[in-house]
C-alpha cells in the first residue's frame, strides 16, 4: 500500500489544494487561491532523513509547463501544471494505481511507469532530492517543483 506524505504547509487545505477563501460565499477557494496554495506547498523543501540511505530507488510523475527553460512542448501555465500534479496526487490518495496515474498525468511516462532507478542526492535537483530522501519506502511526496516541472515522487526502495 502506498502512503501519502503531506507537508505541514498544506494541513487544512481544502479540495484540490486550495485554502478557504474568506470572501467566498460558499467557503470554496478561488482558482487563484488554489494555484497559490499549490505553488507555495510545492516550493517547500522537506529535510532528508538524518539516516537516509546513500542511494534510493524512486519513481515520479512529471508535469511540465511552458515557463520552463526546456518545456518540451508543454503549453500549460506554471499554475495549471502544479494543479495537474496535485490532481494526480489526489487520485493516488483515492486509491488509483500508480501506473494508471503515471499514464494519465505524467509528461514523461515512458515504459517504466516513471521509474528513475537507484539515485543519490547528488544525481537529483536539490528540491527533488530533498523530497525523495525524506520519504520512507512506499511513501508518496506532496507536489514538488524542480527545474524540470512539478513532480509527485514515490520512493520504491
Q: CA distances (Å), 97 to each of 49, 54, 66, 113, in order?
A: 27, 28, 28, 11
Domain of 41 in residue numbering reads as 3-155
Q: How many domains does the chain have?
A: 1
102, 122 Cβ separation under 8 angstroms: no
Query: What sign results for the dihedral spanned by CA atoms 59, 145, 84, 136?
Result: positive
pLDDT, tens only, 12-59: 333 333 333 333 344 567 888 999 999 998 888 777 766 768 999 999
Name the pTM for this structure: 0.79
Q: Which segment of 31-40, 75-84, 85-94 scores lowest on mean pLDDT?
A: 31-40
What CATH number does the domain containing 144 carry? 3.10.50.40
**pLDDT of res. 113:** 92
**pLDDT of res. 27:** 54
Calculate mean pLDDT across residues 80-85: 97
Amino acid at each position: 500500500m502506498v502512503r501519502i506524505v503531506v507537508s505541514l504547509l498544506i494541513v487544512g487545505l481544502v479540495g484540490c489544494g486550495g485554502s478557504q477563501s474568506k470572501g467566498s460565499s460558499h467557503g470554496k477557494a478561488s482558482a487563484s487561491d488554489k494555484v497559490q496554495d499549490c505553488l507555495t506547498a510545492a516550493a517547500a523543501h522537506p529535510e532528508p532523513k538524518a539516516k537516509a540511505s546513500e542511494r534510493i530507488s524512486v519513481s515520479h510523475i512529471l508535469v511540465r509547463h511552458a515557463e520552463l527553460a526546456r518545456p518540451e512542448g508543454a503549453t500549460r501555465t506554471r499554475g495549471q501544471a502544479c494543479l495537474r500534479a496535485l490532481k494526480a496526487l489526489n487520485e493516488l490518495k483515492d486509491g488509483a494505481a500508480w501506473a494508471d496515474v503515471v499514464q494519465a498525468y505524467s509528461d514523461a511516462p515512458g515504459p517504466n511507469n516513471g521509474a528513475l532507478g537507484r539515485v543519490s542526492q547528488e544525481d537529483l535537483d536539490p528540491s527533488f532530492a530533498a523530497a525523495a530522501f525524506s520519504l520512507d519506502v512506499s511513501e508518496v511526496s506532496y507536489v514538488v517543483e524542480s527545474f524540470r516541472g512539478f513532480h509527485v515522487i514515490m520512493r520504491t526502495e
